Amino acid sequence: MSCPNNPEKVAGCYAKSVQPKNLENWNSKNMNKYAWKITEDHCDSESLNTFGPCDITPEQEAALNNGKGEAFRMYDDDGELMYSGVIADFANRRGSVSYSGFEPLEDFGMPNVGCTEIHYLEKTNSGMKWKQL
């Protein structure tokens, strides 16, 4: 799939920026267990700095903006790189993460431009490599 000229945003659960009505009600108890951010839109730049899921908190957005997260890339069915981003765990569980890794793809990449693959940067014996999930 090539980049759409005027991509129609579907009713997915993502937000350009979080602006809760009452910041006093937002605290760590309200946090989603994971959050992601699109750091590069290789298609048309419309989705740059998109955050998800829809219940991301200002604290999570700030953490992602300050470098927290694991790098990912999303590709369409032609193997074309569409988005790069980061996902971070906010569940505070030791030894495991609260996400499967498919969340940015399912929340945003598939419904937005038809992405079919997500790859994560992994450390290997020969250095860092992108690996499809």
pLDDT in tens, 43-70: 887 788 899 988 888 999 999 999 999 9
DSSP strands (E only) in 18-101: 34-41, 51-52, 70-76, 81-89
Strands, sheet with 51-52, edge to edge from the N-terminal-most edge strand:
51-52, 34-41, 81-89, 70-76, 115-124, 127-132
Q: Is residue 110 part of a domain?
A: yes
Whole-angstrom Cα distance, residue 94 to residue 90? 11
Residue 115 CA to residue 107 CA, distance in Å, equals 11
Does residue 12 belong to any structural domain of this protein? no
Indicate the pTM of the whole model: 0.75
Structural domains counted in the chain: 1
Residue 5 counted as domain residue: no
Q: Are 95 and 40 in contact (CB under 8 A)?
A: no
Residue 18 lies in a domain: no
Residue 41 lies in a domain: yes
Domain, as residue range, for 88 = 30-132
